Amino acid sequence: MRGFRRALLRWYDKHRRDLPWRKTRDPYRIWLSEIMLQQTRVAAVLEHYRVFLERFPNIGVLAHAQLDDVLAAWSGLGYYRRARMLHACAKEIVEKHGEFPQSSDALRDLPGIGRYTAAAIASISFGEPTAVVDGNVQRVVQRLAGRKVAQAEIWRRAQLLLDPERAGDFNQAMMEVGATVCLPREPKCKVCPVHRWCGAAGKVERRASPGPTHSKAKRQVREEIWCTLDQWDGQIRLVQRPAKASLMAGMWELPQHAEKPRLTASSAAWRTFRHSITVTNYTVHVLRQRSDGMGEWVAIADVSKLPLTGLTRKILRASGII
């Protein structure tokens, strides 16, 4: 076990990616990075992480911010429930605790923080010797075992592997080797720092590449959307989704038509976009025309401060408005 830990940590110290949340032990910044990275690629998070911290540099500022401002800063990351839970959690920490709880058990009592996130914060920020298991760690543990392992057993094995003296670094090393070496389809077994302890070393590489994953196979729903880009005198028409909407509640978007509108001499099909949300692929046609009073006028100078849907942000960026 000691050899495994030394080999993994030596590799991590030399090869880990230069990521901003790895340069701090601040629990607020560690927590923010973990929430942002859920269901989102690292490359997509980097700029959002920087901008969000500029706007909300500490948990007190976040707790006292308006939810709309938080959603606006989150725009483009998707899965907006994460931003709402982030805001609710910040408020609870400030109002009930004054500062971040330091144990994983206490952290799990907070809104939006589950077992993995609690263990990540507690180990990285406070050195608690508790293992984390995300998708990457789960894959590494299963391959080390050389067989499929039940979820409860994966957590137990991860805890046994953990280096208690460098718990935070070890957890990040396990996630890093899973993200960059022990890949799902084509693992780089020859350069893996722990291949000598792996029960599946070399075997995974010889397997045929699997077919489409279940999630990709499901992405078959196609829909067309027609929306209007209505600009006039430094303003633009936008519509706010209802506060109780099931998706992206309270977010702002361009006015949409229930069906393909009749084009007139003054209408212009400006551009078509492709956009995907969960299992639906959208073809989005954007018209430059009057919106027939839908929505409300918003000063273009204020648009970037609003919580915009990802599609709307994409369109407005392409148009040069933001």
Tell me the catalytic residues. 34
Rg (CA), the chain: 23
DSSP class of 235: E
User: What is the side-by-side strand order in the sheet with 256-257?
Assistant: 256-257, 221-228, 280-288, 268-277
Contact by Cβ (8 Å): 251, 308? yes
Contact by Cβ (8 Å): 296, 238? yes
Residue 240 to residues 75, 209, 319: CA-CA distances in angstroms? 14, 44, 20
Question: 149: helix, coil or strand?
Answer: coil
- Give the Cβ contact number of residue 92 at 10 Å: 15
